[in-house]
Amino acid sequence: MGFFKNNKETKKQEKVGEAERDSRSKAKSRPQDAKKSKLDELSKIYHEQETQLKKDHDTILALDIGTEYVKAVIAKPTKTGGLDIIGIGRAHQNSSNMYSGAIADIPAVVGVCEHALSQAEKMSGTTSKLTVVGIAGELIKGNTSTVRYRRKNGNKPLSEQEMALIIKRVQDRAGENARKEIADETNNPNVEVRLINSAIVSIAIDGYKISNPIGFKGTDVVIQFYTAFAPLVHISAIEKVCAELSLDLLAVAVEPFAVCRACLGDDLDNNFSGIVMDIGGGTTDIAVVDDGGVEGTKMFGIGGRSFTHQIAETLDIDFDTAEKLKLAIRNPAKVTNDMREKMLLAIRRNLAVWLSGVEITLEEFNLSDMLPNKILLCGGGAGLAELQDVLSTTDWFKGLPFARRPIIHLVESSDIPGIHNETTASLDHSYITALGLLRVAMDTLAGSPDEGGIRSKLAKLLQN
């Protein structure tokens, strides 16, 4: 009897011990479970952030800070080397924000850029940090110079290191020339300039024209280089805007050069020739392209706003009202016949001045050959029908080295190779500069679709 009693007590004690152990085990596992749950939550957040960062890195932002509008375009590179546009934004500038194509009020421009960016981000469903910004203005100096380089050992193949040395010498020489030119125009002998864009136009070794110089033998190397410089104060303003917007500035591109890149597309052997006129609010930017190479870029300070000022003065109205009437000039419901005649008179007066600027600027290129007979128009000011008509019908070109009357074409986004609009919004001629900036971004990131190719190596040598 005592045995069974003792046995029952023993089993009872064992059950109590097991319950206590289970209780202690559960109590011990509770903080461990909470810790595991917290780690899982943090891991999930980290994974989401990593995915978003990767998503952001896969997109490119083009920021076209124009005199009249800021345009933000977000694009995603495709596997074939093209670009799909997934977000578009546009915001209007105040009249005091820009001066002659350059930033005049940094905080105000930041605010306008934020508005344009938010539109593009909302449309694309993502953000983009990698940014290319356009730069324009009369103090931007883009020229093509021919350099003759005599090699000591013509039997030795031209190497990447030797090409890098040649490019550095040309850029230094062009930079000094640009600094002197800007110093004379600003009456500031201590002005600082920075290289913005650099590109090879043509290369010849011992009189033989080639496209890929690396690996060739020869003594006499003749290279045509396009280089563009801007005052440091202009670049600093752009860098400040990007810093305020928390953007990673990938490159600053001269806007007419960017437009040329858009027209050439990703075919680096493109033999396109033409004159590109980017007519903005404050400036007209002109680039000459010959056989796929940019011969030079020049600007003068007459754009769409000067036409608006003429209308405002003629009709004795404020600038904003004049701008609205200018855009609606062919709408009889908004502009009476009498008012239209007065507006056309004002526009024609200003067109005469603008045409003089075009002629003088084209004369400054000093090309050895004839000017290309194809003129491509883009920018907000290019939409003025009277401007297109005067280029197409008058004899303004006869004092210039044209073989025949130039053909005038208004560039649309559908004309740009390799860039596709995947949004429901329409992209007209005023967005061409932004598309060019996207192409410059691709050049900066990859050099060319062929990462290991000679063209890619040359592109990387040219990056500043």
Domains in the chain: ranges and CATH: 134-462 (3.30.420.40)
Stretch 352-373: mean pLDDT: 88
Instruction: Note the pLDDT of residue 21.
Output: 59
**447: phi > 0 → left, psi -120 to 50 → alpha, else beta; which?**
left
Q: How far is CA 272 from CA 148, 149, 225, 258, in A?
A: 25, 27, 17, 15
Do 273 and 402 meet the contact criterion of CB atoms below 8 Å apart? no
Query: Cβ distance 64 to 132 under 8 Å?
Result: no
Query: Any idea which residue has 């997109």 for tokens?
Result: 59
Mean pLDDT of 310-314: 93
Does pLDDT of 291 surpass 50?
A: yes
Average pLDDT, integer, range 166-176: 83
Averaged pLDDT for residues 52-77: 83
Q: Indicate if the pLDDT at residue 414 is higher than 70.
A: yes
pLDDT at 282: 86
What is residue 452's predicted lDDT score, i.e. its pLDDT? 41
pLDDT for 280 beyond 80:
yes
Could you tell me the pLDDT band of residue 434, with boundaries at 50, 70 and 90?
very high
Tokens, residue 306: 């000067």
Higher pLDDT, 233 or 446: 233
Give the total residue count for the chain. Answer: 464
Query: Is the pLDDT at 450 greater than 90, yes or no?
Result: no
Task: Give kind and range of the element (H or E) at residue 248.
Answer: strand 248-254
Which band of pLDDT confidence, cut at 50, 70 and 90, is reported for residue 447? very low
Taking the C-alpha atoms of residue 134 and residue 278, their distance in angstroms, rounded to an integer, is: 12
Question: For residue 9, is pLDDT > 80?
Answer: no
Residue written as tokens 């952030």? 49
Q: Look at residue 458 in the predicted model and tell me its pLDDT.
A: 47
Q: What is the mean pLDDT of residues 408-434?
A: 91
458 vs 319, residue with greater confidence: 319
Percent pLDDT > 70 in the chain is 82
Residues 136-164, buried b or exposed e (16+ Cβ, 10 A)? bbbbbbbbbeeeebebeeeeeebeeebbe
**For residue 286, is pLDDT > 50?**
yes
Residue 68 in 3-state DSSP? coil
